[in-house]
Chain A
Amino acid sequence: DAGITQSPRHKVTETGTPVTLRCHQTENHRYMYWYRQDPGHGLRLIHYSYGVKDTDKGEVSDGYSVSRSKTEDFLLTLESATSSQTSVYFCAINSGPQETQYFGPGTRLLVL
């Protein structure tokens, strides 16, 4: 257990509605990441953060925004959810680029 929680763990929403997923860590790690996992694609990086208010885009950032106002929290927002954003979302943390990333339990999102 790397001290990472995600909320909610499951969510069903409708197309066009905004959705925010939360990642919370208790170990003061500098780096936090949001991934999505889809069959046949492994995990793909959406956005990451390297400090409070410091964020950058990953491989599949279109349609997503993030915010990090506190070290312990990293929020992922889908401004207007689409069915293609149905996925399992994982948050991860680490202390530096060459360090192992530790993953949260995941959030299953279904967009109808």
Chain B
Amino acid sequence: ELKVEQNPLFLSMQEGKNYTIYCNYSTTSDRLYWYRQDPGKSLESLFVLLSNGAVKQEGRLMASLDTKARLSTLHITAAVHDLSATYFCAVGYNNNDMRFGAGTRLTVKP
């Protein structure tokens, strides 16, 4: 059965700093997703990664996928307060299932 581990679970960082969130998963998968969730809100899709070596960037966020290592990273560059949220990775499982990590709660402080 697929297990998805995210770390760290809590991240407090200063504005302007860089940091990386890690998503490890336990079995082979052909798709990985990153989502953002603001408090009390729904999930917003950030990235879909479908192949080994895939890299996608949007603003200060960059996601990558290494299927051989079963690892995805979400890199934050020069953090700003607006990036404060909870970030989830989710890994495709079987045909239609998707398993989520527990989430990383990011707080960006001035």
Q: Which residue of B lies closest to A101 (CB)?
A: B98
Determine if A74 is an interface residue (Cβ-Cβ < 8 Å). Answer: no
Q: How many residues of A contact B (CB 8 A)?
A: 24
Q: Chain B contacts of A56 at CB under 8 A?
A: 96
Choose from A59, A90, A98 the contact partner of B43 (Cβ within 8 Å).
Answer: A90
Residues on A with C-beta less than 8 A from B41 are: 105
Cα–Cα distance between A88 and B98 once the two chains are bound (Å): 17
- Count residues of chain B with CB under 8 A from any CB of chain A: 23
Residue A45 lies at the interface, judged by CB distance under 8 Å to chain B: yes
* Contact present for A103 and B43 (CB under 8 Å): yes
Q: List B residues at the A interface (Cβ < 8 Å).
A: 4, 30-31, 33, 35, 41-43, 45, 48, 50, 88, 90, 92, 95-103
Contacts A42-B101, A97-B96 supplied; 16 other A-B pairs, CB < 8 Å: A42-B88, A43-B43, A43-B88, A43-B90, A43-B100, A44-B100, A45-B97, A45-B99, A90-B43, A97-B31, A97-B95, A98-B30, A98-B92, A99-B48, A100-B48, A103-B43
- A residues whose Cβ falls under 8 Å from a Cβ of B: 31, 33, 40-45, 48, 50, 56, 58-59, 90, 97-106
